[in-house]
Amino acid sequence: MEEKSPNAFLYSLLFVFLSVSIASSNSSQFQTQTLVPNSLPHAPSLSWPESVTINSYPESATTLSLHLHHIDALSFNKTPEQLFHLRLQRDAARVKTFTSMASVLNKTQPRGYGSGSGFSSSVISGLSQGSGEYFTRLGVGTPARNVYMVLDTGSDVVWLQCAPCRQCYSQTDPVFDPTKSKSFAGIPCRSPLCNRLDSPGCNTKNVCQYQVSYGDGSFTVGDFSTETLTFGRTGVARVALGCGHDNEGLFVGAAGLLGLGRGSLSFPSQTGNRFNQKFSYCLVDRSASTKLSSVDFGETAVPPTARFTPLLKNPKIDTFYYVELLGFSVGGAPVRGISASLFRLDRTGNGGVIIDSGTSVTRLTRTAYVALRNAFRVGAAHLKRAPEFSLFDTCYNLSGLAEVKVPTVVLHFRGADVSLPVSNYLIPVDTSGSFCFAFAGTMGGLSIIGNIQQQGFELCMI
């Protein structure tokens, strides 16, 4: 990744980070950081060199690196305020989906289907996607056809739109035609791969049928198949993916989704032997136009300075990356009223804390959020308050100020303390100098660490 941040925030069966520096090194003093107020950024320009199409791929490579972009890059003719509003709309829909999944522990079935049913790349974050915030560019098939794909740690199944379409949404590139690929193959209905789907189906040609639905009503249905995916000049053969012929909902711009969850059909799980069960991603500040976000697979995914925290397993949902959050500190002091019990994942699969690349704003159980917010308000009492904004109830008017001192915020995980950069928790919400505390409360038991708080850290799953 270009100009990778010195902070490393790594998960795996463990998770890693490098803490950031703070203004006061004396733990007995109130600790602050300096914020230089910047306005909401405009949509980033999208510049992506096309991969060279080749007929033979180095399939022995054990590392892989991809560049990522934010979905804003695919949103044209929108103001910074409009882009931010869309981001919050997507965020609310995604959190609602996750909360529902965690509490109900079942999936909505789309109509007409049974109920049984080491490399690195640049990543683009997507604001209009309810299914994720970041995109990458990759090749599909042989010869490779380049398309944009959402990367999402909250999903498992890899899928993309395919011709012929019964129903397809608008995407930037031509829809993939599997009949023009030498490496495309349908998966038989009774194969082990087909049986790993949550709700497999079977058509009259004995080809396995998949379906994936999302909480906002979006869904994709089609043939479950294997295909070669190409990242730059690195080919990954026989990836199980959905070839969607009926795709409806909020999937705008990208051709499909590359699932990075913990389930057995996610891309990291399918390629675990090749990439030694390791991958990481680093999301840069969206206002940092000179840097690119990235995803890495293989040994290069784990920096030597990483610290680790154990990943927890939910017995009911295998997709999410659960971590053990113990508490918070503000200004160098532990926040009173927050204990590890507020974030505990119980034996029935309720509660807990997940790390998610596609959620923007961190959500905490209501009791924990109120305690954290109140501690921050006390430490930021010298700042001029501004009206509430959307889901944010703690905002400040920083217009005309060149810099301000802000209390530090530290997340305490099992075995690792993560000191957030100030731009990861006090963020601009308009172009007039309004900044808000970028956490929110939820009435449910599930807490989510969002990508605003992850910016500048490298998160590693091993």
Tokens in use for 19?
């803490």
Is residue 150 within 8 A of residue 132, CB to CB? The reply is yes
Distance CA 375, CA 231 (A): 46
Among 145, 110, 112, 148, which Cα is nearest to 132's? 148
Say which of 72, 152, 156, 296 is annotated catalytic.
152
Is residue 131 within 8 A of residue 152, CB to CB? The reply is yes
Determine whether 152 is an active site residue: yes
How buried is 273 (Cβ within 10 angstroms: 0-12 exposed, 13-18 middle, 19+ buried)?
A: exposed
- Write out the DSSP string of 46-105: ---PPPPP-SS--TT---EEEEEEEGGGG--S--HHHHHHHHHHHHHHHHHHHHHHHHH-
Handedness of CA 192, 196, 199, 205 (dihedral sign): negative
Tokens in use for 82?
């409009």
Say which of 91, 246, 296, 356 is annotated catalytic.
356
Tokens in use for 301?
């995914």
DSSP state of 260: -
Determine whether 356 is an active site residue: yes
CB crowding 187-226: b at 16 or more within 10 Å, else e: bebeeebbebbbbbbbeeeebbbbbbbbbbebbbbbbbbb
Is residue 138 within 8 A of residue 312, CB to CB? The reply is no
Amino acid at 55: N
Distance CA 186, CA 16 (A): 39
Distance CA 90, CA 361 (A): 11
Cα-based angle 331, 332, 333 (whole degrees, multiple of 5): 95
Cis omega (within 30 of 0) for bond into 192: no
Q: Which residue has the tokens 């829809």?
A: 175
Distance CA 241, CA 222 (A): 10
Distance CA 231, CA 57 (A): 10
Q: Active-site residue numbers? A: 152, 356
